[in-house]
C-alpha cells in the first residue's frame, strides 16, 4: 500500500484501509451532508481534520489528484487535494480500489442539501448563476470539465457571496485554451445533467411544481453565454475613457452579476479590460462599504459607490495594495469633496450618499454624451446647477437635521 499526500499525518495510518470504504465503522466517519456520486464517498476524521474520501481506481485517483493540484495552482475554485491511497488489499488479499482524499470545504453544501431547505426562487436562480460563473472561469483557464453537473459542485456562502466550487475533476482536461466546440460540448453536458438532476428534485417535491427543469437548465446555459461574451470581449480604450469601464460594469450588473474585481493591463496604445464577476448576496455591498469607509448606506447606493472606489484603485494601478488604503484615499479625494461642498440651501434635497450616487450617474451620462471621461468635479458642478435644485426636499421625510460641515478644497489637482 502506498500513500501520496501533501500533508504527512501519521494518523492516516490508523484508518482501516484494508476494508472497503462503504464498510468503515462510524467511529472513523464525520456526519456531513453528501451529494450524489457514482463512487463511494465518505467524510473521514483524520485528527482534527475532516477529509473527503472517494473510492476509485488507483490510476484515476492519481490523475484526479494531479488535476486538482494544477487547478489550485492557477487559482480556480475547487476542492483542495489531500492525497491518494493506492495498492490497497483486503484482509483476504483481494485488491481494492484506491482512495482519493480531498480536504472538506468548510461551510459548503451539496445542491441537494440546499434545495431541501426550500429556498426562495430568487436564491435558487442566484445559486445557478454561481454555477454559470464557475463554468466560465474554468473555461477561461482552458479547463474542459466533461461532467458539468450540480452533483459535481459545492456551494458556499462566503462573506455574503454565493460561490460554486468544482468537486469532481475525474473527467476534466486542461488545455492552453478551449475551442468553441469544446465549450459547446461542456454546455450540452451541463444542459442534460442539470435538467435530469432538477427533474429528480421535482419528483421528490424539493422544487415548486411550476418550476420547469429544462427551462432552468437552459437558463444556466443562456447566462453562461451572455457572461462569456462580456468577459472575453476585450475592450481597448484611452486613459481618459474610464466611463467605458463603468459601462462594462453596468452591463454585467444588468445581467445580475456583481463585480468582485477587475484588472486593467496597460500597453503603449491604451489598455485592455478583463473583468472577473462574483455572484453576491443581499447586503454584501453595504457590509463591504461599511468595513472599508465607515459609510452606512443602502445596498444599491453601496454597490454604486464601491464600483467607483474599485475603478479609482484600478485607474491608479493600486490593485496589489490593501484595499483599505485605496478606500482611505478615495474618501479623501473623491467622496468627501462632493458631500462637504453641497450648498446648505440644497442639503435637504437628498441624503448625502444619494447625492453622491446621483453625481456618479450624472458623470457617466455626461461622459457617454461627450465620448470621453468627465471629471467628478465637472459632473458635480453641472449636477448642482441643472439637477439638484429641481429635486423636492426629502429632509422632512427622513426626519434628520442636516449637519453643517466645513467647506474644504473641492478636489486635489490630480483627482480624476
* pLDDT tens digits, 209-242: 777 889 889 988 998 998 898 878 766 666 666 7
Are 200 and 318 within 8 A, CB to CB? no
Bridge pairing between strands 40-46 and 49-56? antiparallel
Q: What is the pLDDT of residue 259?
A: 67
Are 130 and 164 within 8 A, CB to CB? yes
SS in 3 state form for 363-398? HHHHHHHHCCCCCHHHHHHHHHHHCHHHCCCCHHHH
Q: What is the pLDDT of residue 139?
A: 95
Q: For residues 250 and 84, which has the higher predicted lDDT (pLDDT)?
A: 84
Same fold, 2-103 and 108-232: no
Identify the DSSP state of 12. Answer: G
Mean pLDDT of 104-124: 73
For residues 216-254, b (16+ Cβ closer than 10 Å) or e, as one string?
bbebbbebbebbbebbeeebebeeebbbbbbebbeebbe
Q: What is the pLDDT of residue 124?
A: 72
Q: What is the pLDDT of residue 411?
A: 40
Q: What is the pLDDT of residue 313?
A: 87
What gap in Å lies between CA 236 and CA 245, rounded to an integer? 10
Confidence of residue 416 (pLDDT cuts 50, 70, 90): very low
Judge whether residue 267 has pLDDT over 50: yes
Confidence of residue 261 (pLDDT cuts 50, 70, 90): low
Mean pLDDT of 181-204: 92
Instruction: List phi, psi (to 5°) of 142.
Output: 90, 20
- Whose grid coordinates read 495552482? 73
pLDDT tens-digit readout, 323-336: 899 999 999 999 99
Q: In the chain, what percentage of residues exceed pLDDT 70?
A: 81
Q: For residues 24 and 106, which has the higher predicted lDDT (pLDDT)?
A: 24
Helix or strand or coil: residue 109?
strand
Mean pLDDT of 312-323: 82
Judge whether residue 295 has pLDDT over 80: yes
- Whose grid coordinates read 451532508? 33
Q: Contacts for 214-219 with beta carbons within 8 Å, 24 or more apart?
A: 216/128, 217/190, 217/191, 217/192, 218/191, 219/125, 219/128
Domain boundaries, the chain: 2-103, 108-232, 236-398
Confidence of residue 273 (pLDDT cuts 50, 70, 90): low
Mean pLDDT of 125-150: 90
Confidence of residue 398 (pLDDT cuts 50, 70, 90): very low
Rounded to two decimals, the pTM is 0.67
Judge whether residue 115 has pLDDT over 70: yes
Closest CA to 87 of 59, 63, 58: 58
Are 86 and 58 within 8 A, CB to CB? yes
Mean pLDDT of 291-315: 87
Between CA 195 and CA 202, with CA 198 as vertex, the angle to 5 degrees is 135
Q: What is the pLDDT of residue 117?
A: 62
Average pLDDT, the chain: 82
CATH number 2.60.40 given to 2-103: no
Q: For residues 107 and 334, which has the higher predicted lDDT (pLDDT)?
A: 334
What gap in Å lies between CA 89 and CA 20, rounded to an integer? 9
What gap in Å lies between CA 30 and CA 39, rounded to an integer? 18
Mean pLDDT of 294-308: 86
**CATH (residue range 108-232):** 1.10.510.10
Amino acid at each position: 500500500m502506498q500513500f501520496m499526500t501533501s500533508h504527512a499525518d501519521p494518523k492516516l495510518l490508523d484508518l482501516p484501509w484494508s476494508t472497503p470504504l462503504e464498510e468503515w465503522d462510524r467511529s472513523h466517519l464525520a456526519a456531513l451532508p453528501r451529494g450524489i456520486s457514482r463512487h463511494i464517498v465518505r467524510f473521514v476524521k483524520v485528527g482534527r481534520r475532516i477529509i473527503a474520501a472517494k473510492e476509485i481506481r488507483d490510476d484515476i485517483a492519481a490523475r484526479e489528484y494531479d488535476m486538482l493540484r494544477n487547478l489550485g495552482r492557477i487559482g480556480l475554485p475547487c476542492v483542495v487535494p489531500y492525497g491518494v491511497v493506492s495498492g490497497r488489499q483486503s484482509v483476504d488479499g483481494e485488491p481494492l480500489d484506491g482512495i482519493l482524499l480531498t480536504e472538506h470545504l468548510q461551510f459548503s453544501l451539496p445542491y441537494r442539501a440546499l434545495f431541501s431547505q426550500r429556498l426562495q426562487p430568487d436564491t435558487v436562480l442566484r445559486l445557478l448563476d454561481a454555477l454559470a460563473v464557475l463554468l466560465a472561469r474554468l473555461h477561461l483557464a482552458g479547463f474542459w470539465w466533461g461532467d458539468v453537473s450540480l452533483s459535481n459542485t459545492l456551494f458556499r456562502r462566503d462573506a455574503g457571496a454565493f460561490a460554486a466550487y468544482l468537486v469532481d475533476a475525474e473527467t476534466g482536461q486542461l488545455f492552453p485554451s478551449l475551442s468553441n466546440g469544446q465549450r459547446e460540448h461542456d454546455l450540452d453536458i451541463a444542459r442534460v445533467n442539470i435538467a435530469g438532476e432538477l427533474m429528480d428534485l421535482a419528483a421528490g417535491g424539493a422544487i415548486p411544481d411550476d418550476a420547469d427543469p429544462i427551462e432552468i437548465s437552459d437558463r444556466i446555459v443562456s447566462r453562461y453565454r451572455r457572461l462569456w461574451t462580456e468577459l472575453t470581449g476585450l475592450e481597448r480604450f484611452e486613459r481618459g475613457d474610464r466611463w467605458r469601464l463603468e459601462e462594462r460594469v453596468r452591463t454585467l450588473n444588468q445581467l445580475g452579476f456583481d463585480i468582485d474585481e477587475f484588472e486593467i493591463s496597460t500597453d503603449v496604445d491604451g489598455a485592455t479590460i478583463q473583468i472577473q464577476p462574483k455572484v453576491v448576496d443581499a447586503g454584501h455591498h453595504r457590509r463591504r462599504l461599511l468595513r472599508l469607509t465607515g459609510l452606512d448606506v443602502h445596498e444599491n447606493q453601496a454597490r454604486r459607490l464601491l464600483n467607483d472606489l474599485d475603478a479609482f484603485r484600478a485607474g491608479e494601478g493600486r490593485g496589489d495594495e490593501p484595499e483599505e488604503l485605496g478606500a482611505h484615499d478615495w474618501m479623501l479625494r473623491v467622496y468627501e469633496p462632493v458631500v462637504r461642498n453641497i450648498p446648505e440651501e440644497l442639503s435637504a434635497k437628498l441624503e448625502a450618499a444619494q447625492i453622491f450616487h446621483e453625481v456618479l450617474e450624472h458623470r457617466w451620462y455626461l461622459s457617454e454624451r461627450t465620448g470621453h471621461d468627465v471629471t467628478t468635479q465637472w459632473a458635480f458642478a453641472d449636477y448642482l446647477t441643472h439637477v439638484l435644485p429641481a429635486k423636492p426636499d426629502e429632509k422632512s421625510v427622513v426626519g434628520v437635521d442636516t449637519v453643517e460641515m466645513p467647506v474644504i478644497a473641492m478636489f486635489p489637482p490630480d483627482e480624476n
